[in-house]
Structures are given as structure tokens and as C-alpha cells.
């Protein structure tokens, strides 16, 4: 598709604009921090999101297999899944790609260069990407809740153990004191 080749040739500008929009979904001070420092160690979240978007952009437009796209998308979604976003806010960055592309195509000479079918196909593919992002988000949230439930169970068990309120069940299912407390 000619549109995808054009967008790939504009990768640096488009990914930077996309990153700026994604950073804009955070509170202003956080957004400034995400954009300010590109060092992986000084700004791991900003670095991961920027490079994840760049990789995702290239794979998405380059026709990479779903597994490759899944991996790139997963890195970004994992971060957003543990932050204070609603599900729709967490995956909204995918739809922002449409906005970035539409802004770039505002130039009249570019608008006429691509067919309506190409633009609709691009839009449909972004929608599919958003659905994949939502699936990944839900998997991350399920895992997060699983970890939290297990932590509560472990804490409860340790508290009961410290209070000596645990008892083993014997074969006849009668509680048996743990330490010879008869």
C-alpha cells in the first residue's frame, strides 16, 4: 500500500508526534518528565514508551506478523495497565495514531495522493490494533489482580501463623493443634 510506504518514510516525525500525544495523556508534570529525558536509566518509562511506539509503528506499517506486533504493544500496555488509567484511557493511544496521520495528510497535495480505500484500510487496521491492545490490557490486569489476591492470602496466612491460630486437619477432618496446644 502506497500510504504505508509514505508513512514509514515519515517515521521519525510521526512517532515523535505520537509520543507527544501519548505523553499528553499523563498529568502535565509527568508528561514533561516523560518528554524531557531520553536516557533509558533516567527515564525508563518514557524511554520504553517512545521506543515501543517506534517499534510498533514500524512493525504495524511494515506488515509484521501478529506476534511481533503483540510484543511491541505489550511493552507499552504493561506500563499503562499498572498506572491509574481506565481501560479506555490505557488503550486510547492506539487511536491517536489516526490523529497523527490525519494531521500529516492535511496538506492538499498529500490528501489527493492516497485513495479513500487506502485511508479506510489504514483506519480498519488501527481499529484491529486497538482491539489487540485491549486484549493485552485485560490480560495484564487479570495477572495484576491475581498477584494482589495471592499477596493478601499470603499475608493472612502469615498473620494466622504468628497468632498460632492455624490447625492441621487430620484424616478424620478434626482440627489438630499445631504445637501441642491441647
pLDDT at 163: 78
State the average pLDDT over residues 84-110: 91
Q: Which carries the bigger pLDDT value, residue 167 or residue 32?
A: 32
pLDDT at residue 118 greater than cutoff 80: yes
137 within 8 A of 143, measured Cβ to Cβ: no
For range 77-106, the mean pLDDT: 94
pLDDT for the residue 107: 74
3-class SS string, 72-135: HHHHHHHHHHHCCCCHHHHHHHHHHHHHHHHHHCCCHHHHCCCCHHHHHHHHHHHHHHHHHHHH
Q: Is the pLDDT of residue 9 over 90?
A: yes
The predicted model gives 55-80 an average pLDDT of 92
Average of per-residue pLDDT values in the chain: 87
Q: Between these two residues, 170 and 48, which has the higher pLDDT value? A: 48
Q: Does residue 78 contact residue 45 with C-beta atoms inside 8 Å?
A: no
pLDDT tops 70 at residue 172: no
Beta bridge partners of 177: 167
Residue 175 reports pLDDT greater than 80: no
Does pLDDT of 74 surpass 90? yes
The mean pLDDT value for 68-91 works out to 94
End-to-end Cα separation, the chain, in angstroms: 80
Q: What is the pTM of this model?
A: 0.79
d(CA 61, CA 44) in angstroms, rounded, equals: 25
CB 167 within 8 A of CB 178: yes
d(CA 77, CA 140): 8
Most confident of 3-17, 98-112, 139-153: 3-17
Residue 177: is its pLDDT beyond 60?
A: no
Amino acid at each position: 500500500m502506497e500510504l504505508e510506504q509514505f508513512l514509514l518514510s515519515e517515521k521519525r516525525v510521526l512517532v515523535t508526534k505520537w509520543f507527544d500525544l501519548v505523553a499528553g495523556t499523563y498529568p502535565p508534570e509527568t508528561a514533561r518528565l516523560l518528554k524531557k529525558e531520553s536516557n533509558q536509566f533516567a527515564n525508563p518509562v518514557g524511554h520504553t514508551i517512545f521506543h515501543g511506539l517506534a517499534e510498533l509503528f514500524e512493525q504495524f506499517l511494515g506488515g509484521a506478523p501478529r506476534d511481533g506486533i503483540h510484543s511491541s504493544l505489550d511493552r507499552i500496555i504493561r506500563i499503562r495497565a499498572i498506572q491509574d488509567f481506565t481501560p479506555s484511557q490505557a488503550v486510547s493511544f492506539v487511536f491517536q495514531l489516526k490523529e497523527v496521520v490525519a494531521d500529516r495528510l492535511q496538506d492538499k497535495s498529500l490528501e489527493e495522493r492516497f485513495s479513500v480505500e487506502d485511508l479506510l484500510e489504514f483506519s480498519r487496521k488501527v481499529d484491529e490494533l486497538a482491539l489487540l491492545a485491549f486484549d493485552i490490557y485485560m490480560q495484564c490486569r487479570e495477572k495484576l489482580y491475581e498477584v494482589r489476591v495471592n499477596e493478601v492470602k499470603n499475608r493472612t496466612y502469615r498473620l494466622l501463623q504468628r497468632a498460632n491460630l492455624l490447625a492441621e486437619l487430620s484424616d478424620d477432618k478434626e482440627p489438630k493443634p499445631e504445637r501441642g496446644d491441647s
